[in-house]
Amino acid sequence: MCLITVDQSQSTLLSIFSQEYQKQIKRTHAKHHTAEAIETYYQRYLNGVMKNAAAPVLLDLANEVDFAPSLMARIVLERFLQEKEQAIPSKTLISSMLRDPSQIPDGVLANQVYQCTVNDCCYGPLVDCIKHAVGHEHEVLLREMLLEKNLSFIAEDQLRAKGYDKTPDFILEVPVAVEGHIIHWIESKASFGDESSHQAYLQDQFWSYWNRFGPGLVIYWYGFIEELDCHRERGILLKDCFPTDIVTLRHSMAQR
């Protein structure tokens, strides 16, 4: 199998950048969602498009106040719909409109919103999709490696079909030992493992997997902060690549 090698260090940097940016957005999220802020943004948008509908009003506004363009588009869209429908619009409706701005009843706003989502580097349906695709691609890569190593597994979709409530990417049908630690499952993370994301993953995913399937392995393809790999004894192992030191039940496969 050959694969297009993405420049690892660049991806790592991008991943770290994205995480830092998201942290910053999370910090300021509340500030941009006060009633006053929303009103201000909406009025500025209205004024802006009144002057020149073709100008990147929303995008400029987002950049000016240091907020993600997609999220700014969401704020203004929500406000717009609220005024139009005289009711709080559902989240699904808004998301759907962000995904497909053609559904937005106002042509100018549709253009503005589309411009925002297309120009956003960390949020929005396009970025979400890219992230999803990247994750999927790494899962496929991991699956390839497992097949190559002859390790039989149950993949996430099969697990879901069986009704598992929490599903790692792969559960090994026969556990193996990686670097001396027994693992039952492998989770692929196409991102950099920084402290906050790792904590969140531990809480939402990794411990839950442990609670159900026992110890397991997490692969952060774009690397991770070494100090985070501190739960090995307890049953969460971190790696930034597919492990080489694998011992199976019958025979050693080390150094393959």
Partner 1 sequence: FSIDVFKMLDLGVSVNHIHDKLASLSSLQKDFVPFLLNFLREQTSQILTNGPSTPAKTPNSKAHGSQRTGSERRTGHASSSRVQLFSPRTSVTASLPVRRGRRRGSSSVGASGRQGARDLGCSLAEEEDGKSDSASWSGGRRKSSGAPLVSARSPPSQLNLNNLEEFPPMGAASGWAKSKPSRRINPTPVSAERPLSKPKTCFTSTPVSRSPAAHWSAGSSPEAFAAVQEGNLSSVMSNSLQEEREMLKKERYSLRISFDPGTPTKPSYTRSASLPAESHLVTCANPAKVSCKKQLECLAQLYSSCIAENLVPNIFLELFFVLQLLTSKGTSTAEDGDSDPEINVSGRQHFESVHNCVYFAVRVLDYQFEIISHLEKGMLKLLAENERISSFSPTLHKRLRQAYESSTAKVSLLLPCSVQSVSFQPETDNRSNFPSDRAFQVFKKQRDIFYELLREWEDNHEKTVWDFERVLGSKIRAMMAHLSATCNHSRFARLFQKQLIQMCKGPIGGGASWGDTPDQDVLNMLGSDNLSRLKRLQERFVVPQSIRGPCPPPSFPGCQQFFRDFILSAGSYQFNQHLVDSLCLKILELNGLTLVEHDHSDGETDMEEQDEKKRFTVALLSLRLLAKFLGFIVFLPYRTAEQPAGDMPDSALVLRNQTLPVLDILKLLRQSIRDQRSILTIPWIVEYLSLVDHVAPFLDYYRKVFGLLLLMVLSEDKEMSFLNKLLILAVLGWLFQVELFLLCCILSAFPSFSHQDFVPLVDQQLLYTCCPYLSELRKLLASFVAGSGGKNGGFIRKITPTAAESLAPKASVTQQKLQVDLEQAFFHNQPPSLRRTVEFVAERVGSNCVKHIKATLVADLVQRAEAMLQDKVKEEDVNHDKLLEEVCTHLYEEGAQALIKGREFCKKKGPEAVRVLLPEETSAAVLSSAESIAVELATEKACGWLSANIAALIKREVKATFNRMLKVPGFPLPGVDAVELRRDCPPGCQHCAPFPSQMINEIKYVLCVAVGPREEGEVVDYVWLECLLGRLSQTLRCRKFMCPTAEQQLAKCTVELASLLVSDRVPLSLGIKSSEKSPERLRGKNDPTSGLLKLLFSIWKEDFGTSVPVQLIFSKKNVGYLTEAKQREWDLFLFLLHGLTEHELMRTSEIQSCLHSLEELPWPSVSN
Helix (H) / strand (E) element for 219: namely: strand 216-220
1 binds partner 1 (CB under 8 A): yes
41 binds partner 1 (CB under 8 A): no
Site string for partner 1, 87-126 (x = CB under 8 A): ---------x---xxx-x--x--xx--xx--xx-----xx
In this complex, which beta carbon is closest to partner 1, that of residue 50 or of residue 133?
133
Residue in 82, 93, 207, 248 binding partner 1, rule: CB under 8 A: 207
From CA 123, how far away is CA 210, in angstroms rounded?
31
Residue in 40, 208, 229, 232 binding partner 1, rule: CB under 8 A: 208
Token couple for 17: 């950048």
Q: How far is the CB of 59 from partner 1 (least distance, A)?
A: 7
Residue 217 C-beta-side C-alpha neighbours within 13 Å:
26
Q: With CB under 8 A, what is the number of residues at the site for partner 1?
A: 48
Residue in 21, 44, 46, 137 binding partner 1, rule: CB under 8 A: 137
**Stretch of 35-43, 55-63, 191-199, 238-246 lying at the interface with partner 1 (CB under 8 A):** 55-63
Query: How far from 223 is each of 13, 15, 36, 189, 218, CA to CA, in Å?
Result: 10, 10, 41, 9, 11
Q: How far is the CB of 242 from partner 1 (least distance, A)?
A: 16
In this complex, which beta carbon is closest to partner 1, that of residue 215 or of residue 223?
215
Residue in 13, 50, 140, 230 binding partner 1, rule: CB under 8 A: 140
From CA 168, how far away is CA 19, in angstroms rounded?
22
From CA 149, how far away is CA 136, in angstroms rounded?
20
From CA 167, how far away is CA 100, in angstroms rounded?
30
Each residue of 229-251: b (16+ CB within 10 Å) or e? bebeeebbbbbbebbeebbbeee
Query: How far from 246 is each of 195, 210, 218, 220, CA to CA, in Å?
Result: 27, 20, 14, 18
216 binds partner 1 (CB under 8 A): no
CB 8 within 8 A of CB 222: yes
Residue in 36, 86, 150, 162 binding partner 1, rule: CB under 8 A: 162
**Stretch of 33-41, 52-60, 71-79, 80-88 lying at the interface with partner 1 (CB under 8 A):** 52-60
Enumerate binding residues for partner 1 (CB under 8 A): 1-4, 6, 54-56, 59-60, 96, 100-102, 104, 107, 110-111, 114-115, 118-119, 125-126, 129-134, 136-137, 140, 160-166, 207-208, 210-214, 234
